[in-house]
Structure 1
Amino acid sequence: MTTRVLVPQPIAPAGLEVLREAGLETRELDTTDAAELRQAIVDCSGVLVRTAPLPADVLSAAPGLEVVSRHGVGLDAIDTGYCRDHGIRVTFAPESNTVTVAEHTIGLMTAITKNLRTVDAATRAGDFGARSRSYGIELDGKTLGVVGLGRIGRLVAQKARLGFGMRLLGYDAYLPEDAGPEGVHRCALEELLASSDVVTVHVPFTPGSRHVIDAAGLRSMKRAAYLVNCSRGGTVDEAALIDALRDGHLAGAGLDVFETEPLPAGHPLTALDNVLLTPHMAAHSTEALDRMAAHAAEGIVDVLGGREPRWPADRPPVGHRPG
């Protein structure tokens, strides 16, 4: 009997090779449409998902579904409650994109504090005089506040400390007090926001983290501070951020994620000169895409082979199998 794995969106060949070498048949699409997904998933035992949403009404169309594996880290598009209740294992790829996202974060931080977007546009327009008007700041000795001290947040902190000589503050609601990374002073979120020259956000999007940086938090930040967000758009109050950028309370922001994606045409953020925008692609290096595809595929192969996956995003009761 053929065991099928649905791959709703294109992935790197490395992931497909892992699945096929394990004797699994792949059904490859390029869609996020719920109706198409419901039709395609019906006879599948696994799903390797990128950004396609997998709500209960899609998952329930596959009575033999055993595993959903996330191509990346965030699980907010997967109905993990349904999976838990129906014995469907959920795996992800938390070690695949850490380096790439951390590097993207450092890149955004450097670009916005040096006004690179503004001076690039001026130079292209023939305005060489921008060199005497658009000054950046040095990061050396400045304070970086890291909200979320998981793999990515820790690596960003390390690179900022060793590469730029920055002072580090860290906030994490779940990490034990004695488990903070080297060189990071753990503190309350309020202290971090009020004391940091740059704040970078690295928390998963959950009901508890929605607008973890809210309007009051943004206004409590230093005047002329900077914000970087490479986690999820909903972790920052976007409307309040726009206001703080418009009136100059914040000097700038580097954003890879947004509350609505794709970013709608004519969105207020696109009209702001003090914002650098990238299209939710912090994890999209060639190396990370290969790792994400392969690691997500390995999770499916493990579960369907009766083995505990290397990167489980769940831990259901022993012996709980699909009905």
Structure 2
Amino acid sequence: MAWKILLPQEIMSEGRKLLEDAGHTIIDGRGFEPEDVLADFKEYQPDAMIVRITPISREIIESNPNLKVIVRHGAGFDALDVKACHDNNVQALYAPVANSTSVAETAMLLILEMSRNVTVLHKTWVDDFYKAKLKVRKNTINGKTLGLIGCGNIGSRVAKRALGFEMNVMAYDPYKPACDFPEGVEVVRDLDRIFKECDYVSLHCPNTPVTKNMVNKERLAMMKPTAFLINTARGGCVDETALYEACRDGIIAGAGLDAIQKEPVDPKNPLLTLDNMIIYPHIGGNTTEAAHRASYFAAMGIQEVYEGKAPTWPINDVDYKTAKTYTDTKKPDTKPAGMFDF
């Protein structure tokens, strides 16, 4: 017997087609706020759901005893109560590689925009062309050091792109053995080294009890006054009050963010007042190509469970405080790029 599948938000055509061709009934939700999903669950009792931006709580999950599968349309799943899924025998899935390239490109875009002081240039060049051209700070990223916090699907892609720009790359990821990091990356096990030594610190880690507010006043104070923070991961990893003060007071040179703690942004958020700050509306993974992949992979996950197969991308319970960690290191084989290496 085919399933009823709820879509609180539309997915791309190939994902929908996969499910319809398999005989499933698609329910287009009344909206994507939590109360909308709760109402749809109570009315339709769907077997499965693909969720894009709606936070899914235990209350929602337990309102539908018929629920078998929830798929996150993308890589992040901190807005889904995974434990509640597993407590209620609901399979939780995601699509971790669907938007990895798009997020990696966004991280590089923010690195480049911060290096060229884009916000100040935009505000300056029409009224004072020569000031913008000759006096506004601009830097190359060649020879600079990028520090990655997290080197999974996305962090690894950022590393490879940064190496292509002739940056030096250091990476911290305690849950990954050194042999699995990309070639050319220096693997470090001391997180503080990333903050102290790097010109750009880029976050590619989930929001967990271990990483929550990991970027705090103390760690921002470790950074060079010429360094930038880049966050395309989760807003909860950064203490925003500390970041605002660090950028305002010149403790660091600035920050490029695609994730903040409260989304949509509060118009009164003081981060919006800073010229050395760029903030995107969490669009790193929202390219057309990524949406096509995520929709198809999400639908594929539902069909795998429906057919009794082991799903390709299950979300597993991980206790990051007790998870296995590694202490081995690795240095790149090539010498670091220099300012005068042409």
The residue aligned with 1:308 is 310
Alpha-carbon distance in structure 2 between the residues aligned to 1:137 and 1:63: 57
Partner of 1:78: 80
1:135 CA displacement: 2.1
Structure 2 equivalent of residue 69 of structure 1: 71
* Corresponding position of 1:140: 142
> d(CA) in 2 for partners of 1:31 and 1:77?
17
Give the whole-Å Cα distance in 2 for the aligned partners of 1:206 and 1:29.
Answer: 30
In the TM superposition, what are the counterparts of 1:1-323 in structure 2 within 5 Å?
3-29=3-29, 31-42=31-42, 43-125=45-127, 127-162=129-164, 164-187=165-188, 188-314=190-316
Could you list the runs of 5+ residues in structure 1 that have no partner in the other structure?
316-323
Tell me how far apart the structure 2 counterparts of residues 250 and 18 of structure 1 sit (CA, whole Å): 48
Q: Are residues 234 and 200 of structure 1, via their aligned partners in 2, closer, same or farther at CA, if it must alter by over 3 Å?
A: same
Q: Distance in 2 between matches of 1:233 and 1:152?
A: 16
Aligned-pair CA distance for 1:242: 0.6
Cα RMSD after superposing both structures: 1.5
- Report the residue type matching 1:246 in the other structure: R
Q: Which amino acid aligns with 1:253?
A: A
How far apart are the structure 1 equivalents of 2:248 and 2:69? 46
Report the Cα distance in structure 1 between the residues aligned to 2:91 and 2:39, rounded to whole angstroms.
Answer: 21
Query: Deviation per CA, 1:38-92, whole angstroms, max 9, x where unpaired?
Result: 2212310001001111111101111111100000011111111111112111111
**Deviation readout 1:95-152 (Å, 9 max, x if unpaired):** 1011111111101100111112221232244544321221211111111001101011
Counterpart code for 2:181? G
CA distance in 1, matches of 2:106, 2:96: 16
Cα distance between partner residues in 2 of 1:136 and 1:30: 48
* 1:157 maps to amino acid: A
Contact persistence 1:148–1:170 (CA under 8 A): yes
Decide which moves more: 189-198 or 4-13: 4-13
In structure 2, the residue corresponding to 1:200 is in which secondary structure?
Answer: strand
Aligned with 1:208: secondary structure? Answer: coil
Aligned partners of 1:67 and 1:304 also within 8 Å: no
Mean Cα deviation higher: 12-21 or 74-83: 12-21
Once residues 94 and 57 of structure 2 are traced to their aligned partners in structure 1, the CA distance between those partners, rounded to angstroms, is 17
Residue identity matched to 1:22: A
Please give the alpha-carbon distance, in whole angstroms, between the structure 1 residues aligned to 2:6 and 2:126: 46
* Secondary structure of the corresponding residue to residue 218 of structure 2: helix
C-alpha separation between the residues in 2 aligned to 1:313 and 1:147? Answer: 21
Does the 8 Å CA contact 2:82/2:315 hold for their aligned counterparts? no
Match of 1:320 in 2: none
2:130 and 2:27 mapped to 1: Cα distance? Answer: 54
Query: What TM-score, normalized by structure 2, do the two folds share?
Result: 0.88
User: Counterpart of 1:8 in structure 2: which amino acid?
Assistant: P
How far apart in 2 are the matches of 1:186 and 1:277? 29
TM-score by length of 1: 0.93
Aligned equivalents of 1:225 and 1:314: distance in 2?
Answer: 35
The alpha-carbon deviation at position 257 of structure 1 amounts to 0.4
Give yes or no for contact 1:74–1:205 (8 Å, CA) kept in 2.
no
> What SS class does the counterpart of residue 224 from structure 1 fall into?
coil
Runs ≥4 residues deviating over 6 A: none
**Identity of aligned pairs, percent?**
34
Aligned length: 314
Helix, strand or coil: the match of 2:79? coil
> 2 CA distance for matches of 1:4 and 1:116?
48
What is the alpha-carbon distance in structure 2 between the residues aligned to residue 22 and residue 128 of structure 1?
A: 62
Deviation at 1:185, TM superposition (A): 1.1
Secondary structure at the residue paired with 2:125? helix
Separation of aligned partners in 2, 1:309 and 1:7 = 19
Contact 2:62 2:88 in 1 (8 A): no
How far, CA to CA, are the matches of 1:300 and 1:124 in structure 2? 52
Deviates more, 1:151-160 or 1:304-313: 304-313
Q: CA deviation at 1:241?
A: 0.6
Higher mean C-alpha displacement, 121-130 vs 77-86: 121-130
Shift, 1:252, TM fit: 1.4
Q: Which residue type is aligned with residue 31 of structure 1?
A: G
